[in-house]
Amino acid sequence: MIQTGELVLLISPEGKRYLRPLDPAQAFHTQEGLLKMDEVALAGFGACVRTHKGHPYRILKPTLHDCIKGVKRLTTIMYPKEIGYVLLKLGAGPGRRIIEAGSGSGGLTTALAWMAGDTGRVYTCEKRAEFSKLARENLERNGLAQRVSFFTRDVSEEGFPEEAHGADALFLDVREPSDCLEHAARAVCPGAPVGFLLPTTNQISDLLRGLETSEFDDVEVLEIMLRRYKPVADRLRPEDRMVAHTGFLVFARHKGLPPEPWTPPAPPESDAAPGTPPDSGTESGPETGPGPAAGEHAAREASGDRADAGS
Ligand SMILES: C[S@@+](CC[C@H](N)C(=O)[O-])C[C@H]1O[C@@H](n2cnc3c(N)ncnc32)[C@H](O)[C@@H]1O
């Protein structure tokens, strides 16, 4: 039994997809006839129901991918291929507080809110009121709006809302993110990951120049390509066309707090009589040269082997 308000994905016999919150009192008008939503509720996920003309519709539980694809859009939205990596890099998950700008149509907001769970929070900022409204409507349709605070503001001028400060991560999908770096550094907790989506390489260069003098380091620039294959077992080959470019991703980390001032430890008081030579035992302290661990570390550095290589 599907509960009232739960999202359902209905698939027509031709493969058309409809994402709806379930209202058992309603009927869904399709090109193949009426679909009674109380029958959908009773049938449950994984089942099939027929329209009054006898056409079968599959009932599926939507995934996050389905929800993102179902977002109504007036702006370009981020593609799932980028969103997946962004979620990993930002450490999105239950209980996490994440800031985002601009909201646009709410594609990334949907994913962040999905991951945040009921204990996390997404703070999404958008300078144009009509897009902020659209993002909210999309999140409401997906049943995720209660996890999100929506702000209509220009983050390059006004910065990020006070209540969002101390956030665990931040993502910018705005035209000129380098104008927002100081605000971003104030809004996140020390060491927090930040990310950016940019459509052109000259925008990356501007951002890199900005990052050089910012509170962020550990910079990574990349793009993600997705090539689909025709799922035909006997003639398996790539699709003829692909979306070759969507955007570039840049990630960095807040530098964190500076180290405490260092005071060298006082030399141990020696019981030995003056003039006694220092202990020449076999144990060596760190000051006697690199131990095995340090040697191994140096070798790994020389070979370019980084702990995060290939991530
Ligand atoms: C490409 S859209 C974002 C799409 C969004 N990531 C999604 O997945 O649906 C870029 C948005 O950033 C907004 N924007 C640009 N500069 C901004 C700024 N300084 N402050 C807030 N929003 C801004 C634009 O109005 C636009 O709606």
DSSP letters, 91-112, are T--TT-EEEEE--TTSHHHHHH
d(CA 53, CA 110): 35
pLDDT in the model for residue 305: 42
Q: Is 174 in the pocket of ligand 1 (CB under 6 A)?
A: yes
- Closest by CA to 252, choosing from 200, 157, 186, 185, is 185
pTM of the predicted structure, to 2 decimals:
0.84
Q: How far is CA 224 from CA 54, 91, 192, 208, 247, in A?
A: 43, 18, 23, 19, 8
Residue 116 neighbours by CB under 8 Å, 6+ apart: 92, 93, 94, 95, 96, 97, 98, 122, 147
Q: What is the pLDDT of residues 126-150, one digit of tens each?
A: 999 999 999 999 999 998 999 999 9
Ligand 1 site, residue 178, Cβ cutoff 6 A: no
For residues 72, 76, 81 and 87, what is the CA-based torsion angle, rounded to 10 degrees?
-80
Would the CB of 171 count as within 6 Å of ligand 1?
no
Pocket test for ligand 1, best of 124, 126, 141, 152 (most atoms within 8 A of CB): 126
Q: pLDDT per residue over 27-64, tens digit each?
A: 999 999 999 999 999 999 999 999 999 999 999 999 99
Contact (CB, 8 A) for 103 and 131: yes
State the average pLDDT over residues 155-177: 98
- Residue 283 above 80 pLDDT? no
Q: Is 173 in the pocket of ligand 1 (CB under 6 A)?
A: yes
The best mutation among 100, 174, 197 to test binding of ligand 1, ranked by most ligand atoms within 8 Å of the C-beta, falls on 174
Domains of the chain and any CATH numbers: 7-62 (3.10.330.20), 65-254 (3.40.50.150)
DSSP 13: T
pLDDT at residue number 268: 87
Q: In DSSP terms, which residues pair with 149 in a beta bridge?
A: 123
**Tokens (6 digits) for 107:** 């594609």
